[in-house]
Amino acid sequence: MSNFSSLKGFKDLLPEDTPLWRRVEATAEEILQTFGYTEIRTPLLEPTELFLRSIGEHTDIVEKEMYTFEDWDGKKVTLRPEGTASVLRAYLEHRLGEGQVLQKLFYRGPMFRHERPQAGRLRQFHQIGAEAIGSLDPFLDAEVLSLLWFLLWELGVDGLALELNSLGCPLCRPRYREALLAYLSERADRLCDDCRRRLKTNPLRILDCKKENCREITQEAPASVELLGPECAPHFKEVQGGLSDLGIPFRINHRLVRGLDYYTKTAFELTTSRLGAQNAVAAGGRYDGLAEALGGPTTPAIGFAIGMERVITLLREKEPSPPKNALEERGPALFIAALGETPKRRMAPMLFRLRQEGIHAEMDYGDLGLKAQMRQADRLGAKQVLIVGEDEIKAGSAILRNMQNKHQEKIPLQDVAERLLSGAE
């Protein structure tokens, strides 16, 4: 028993967990590539200023949740709390948009936020995300949403609901902010402490407050879609039309504001009724002004992120443990029960060759007897066991035992590799 355990909010993924994670990642990768996305991998650590400019200084993420510290040279750095800012930083830094109107990128990996651990939410959590950079077309919004809907459906996540809103642009949002401030200021004394603070810094976030009292107060608050300008209103209408054409159901949620300042126009969440209060499985939106905020040219873009832990939680409910045949498939094709030092040394080259040829083979590395090694082979789910002792080495043969039907036969040692390789074809 160790004196150490993992930090609060950080979780080990054990061998029985990883097959489901790999299946989710493989399915997502296949679908994303089918939709024309290529993978990008960005560092876990970024300059703190990147997130101050992108997410916004007065967001909960920046004010309360980021893991920020000084590097050895005194520079402030942060473990990435989300993926979009890093992807766009890389897009601008490496000039990925040159010569190509639309760049489609996807990413996966851990993110870090210091928030209260709860169901489906950890301090180190994982996301799969996609970013389509370089187009203002509302059809792209509908396409990105169709990709997300199809991906989660293909993974087996059911009970999905798509919630949609438009946050406007820098031209029409001030009008909405003014109307919202006027409404909330008259009721400020009834807001919670956090929302009274947000009233001065980020009033839109009050709409997302989970406290029942604040939710009641904002029930009749002005809706952003009612105050959209001449560019944003038709854009939002065309996004809805595109979704209807694709047969994807949705509902307008006037409270949907998202927790990041860079969002403009389309904002969305995919929720499920099976996760309780933390019901969002994926979320995203447009961020047409983010590239400019990071010092680059005006570059329209839209993207989403899927919460891996939440998806895994939902799939685990449907498939509590890997099916028996899946466990058997992961077992080695051959377990070499080498009885003694000489047999072990003689079998090592064969073991290496089998592995080079793609055959999953194992061998005991201790001094266990035959019975103990057979038990070990059985625990591993080995399909066959090759029994080799001193006598077998002298005779140039070995005993091959089928672990399914218990049939065993003596075969020449020189034929073992070919026998297994021919059976794998």
Between these two residues, 223 and 88, which has the higher pLDDT value? 88
Confidence class for position 206, pLDDT limits 50, 70, 90:
confident
Domain ranges in the chain are: 18-172+228-318, 331-419
Residue labelled with tokens 């293909």: 154
What is the reported pLDDT for 326? 46
- pLDDT of 132 > 90? The answer is yes
Among 125-129, 272-276, 324-328, name the most confident range.
Answer: 125-129
Q: Which tens digit of pLDDT belongs to each residue from 302-323?
A: 999 999 999 999 998 876 655 4
Per-residue DSSP letter, 223: P
Mean pLDDT along residues 96-105? 89
| Range from 190-194, 280-284, 304-308, 331-335 carrying the lowest mean pLDDT | 190-194
- pLDDT of 106 > 90? The answer is yes
Tell me the CATH number of domain 331-419, given options 3.40.50.800, 3.40.50.720, 1.10.10.10, 2.40.33.20: 3.40.50.800
Joined tokens for residue 201: 């810094």
Q: 92 in helix, strand or coil?
A: helix
Q: Count how many residues are written for the chain.
A: 425
Backbone φ and ψ of 404, nearest 5°: -85, -50
- List, in order, residues 6 or more apart from 304 with CB less than 8 Å away: 129, 130, 144, 148, 268, 282, 283, 284, 285
Contact between 259 and 60 under an 8 Å Cβ cutoff? The reply is: yes
What percent of the chain is modeled with pLDDT above 90?
62
Instruction: State the Cα–Cα distance between residues 73 and 104, nearest whole angstrom.
Output: 35
Class for domain 18-172+228-318, per CATH? alpha beta
Please check whether the two domains, 18-172+228-318 and 331-419, share a CATH topology: no
Question: 406, exposed or middle or buried, with CB in 10 Å at 0-12, 13-18, 19+?
Answer: exposed
Pairing of strands 76-79, 67-70: antiparallel
Mean pLDDT along residues 341-352? 91
Q: Which tens digit of pLDDT belongs to each residue from 377-405?
A: 999 999 999 999 999 999 999 999 999 99
What is the reported pLDDT for 79? 96
Instruction: State the Cα–Cα distance between residues 250 and 164, nearest whole angstrom.
Output: 7
